[in-house]
Amino acid sequence: MNWTRLWLFGLVAAVIVTTGLRLSARSTMDAPAGSTVGAPERSMNEIAALPASLPPVRVSATEPVASAAALYVLDVDSAYPLYAQNETTPVPIASVTKLMTALVALDEYRLDEVVTVSQEATRTIGSGIDLVAGEQITVHNLLRGLLIQSGNDAAMALAEHKGYDRFIEQMNEKAALIGLAQTQFQDPAGLDDSGYSTARDLGILAAFALRSPILLDIVSTVETTIDSIDGQFRHHLETSNRLLKGDHPLYLGYVTGLKTGFTPEAGHCLVASAKHGEHQIVTVVLNTDEQTPEASAKESRRLITWAFDAYAWPE
């Protein structure tokens, strides 16, 4: 078993055991129905399953003020859920799906591999990067278009490259492999709302994606330009993650990226990562109560600032 599999086993095991354990009375005081917060009691075997030590809850810790159908905050280093609300309820996840699309593409293709864009891919509805039928472009640039500007056409081009149906099968095989027990993918862009996941599964997925330097570099990019192989077609990309934009009121300096999502059924979603010192967390916000384009960034910002205030983080 290699180190990645050992880490992954520890991550999934730790998330499962810590989510299900009894919470202390101090940490659950005044917690709303369906939510958990604070440090659960753990046996020595459970502690041994954790990849790292757990930062203690501050005595003055309070509930985060955030509103969505499902919320989740995960400490990546310890695999410990800092907060959870409806975290095991399966819901549609829209373009957050593209995190798995990217992981499968990295597994199956070389970064410099050339993809010829089909007419079908250019007709994909929703957000796109304006790919042109017949355009030849590298997998690396398609990944940028996929994750920075949330290109549905880029998702389709990646999936079609060596067989659309098989690609979707591989997305679900990968989900099972990394322990996403309540996740099912139906398409590479998240347009099909019959696909689903949970806040907890998405926390695991995000933590896994962050282990890829390639993906971490892409999801933290605010703005860039990509070209086709022959330079004939140029695509300007701008992140859909408002927390990364320095000129946006919701900008948060220690946010490191990840993925937005929206469909009318899924609502406004955001899986975000943030790093303060050497400590990294992932927040998951699914279907915000407030139905505005900025809502998922607003609620994610609240969760991130709460987590770094409510827990004592090592320097």
245 an active-site residue? no
d(CA 177, CA 253): 33
| Per annotation, catalytic residue among 78, 95, 240, 300 | 95
150 an active-site residue? yes
3-state SS track over 126-192: CCCCCCCCCCEEEHHHHHHHHHCCCCHHHHHHHHHCCCHHHHHHHHHHHHHHCCCCCCECCCCCCCC
Cβ-based burial of 3 (10 A; exposed 0-12, middle 13-18, buried ≥19): exposed
| Per annotation, catalytic residue among 78, 118, 150, 197 | 150
Question: DSSP string spanning 248-302?
Answer: STT--TTEEEEEEEEETTTEEEEEEEEEETTEEEEEEEEEESS-STTHHHHHHHH
Cβ atoms 58, 312 nearer than 8 A: yes
Q: Is the backbone of residue 54 left (phi > 0), alpha (psi -120 to 50) or beta?
A: beta
Q: What amino acid is encoded at 225 in this protein?
A: T
Q: How far is CA 34 from CA 87, 153, 250, in A?
A: 9, 37, 27
Triad 235, 266, 301: Cα angle to 5°: 75
259 an active-site residue? no
- Which helix (H) or strand (E) covers residue 7, if one does? helix 3-20
| Per annotation, catalytic residue among 24, 43, 67, 98 | 98
Active site residues: 95, 98, 150
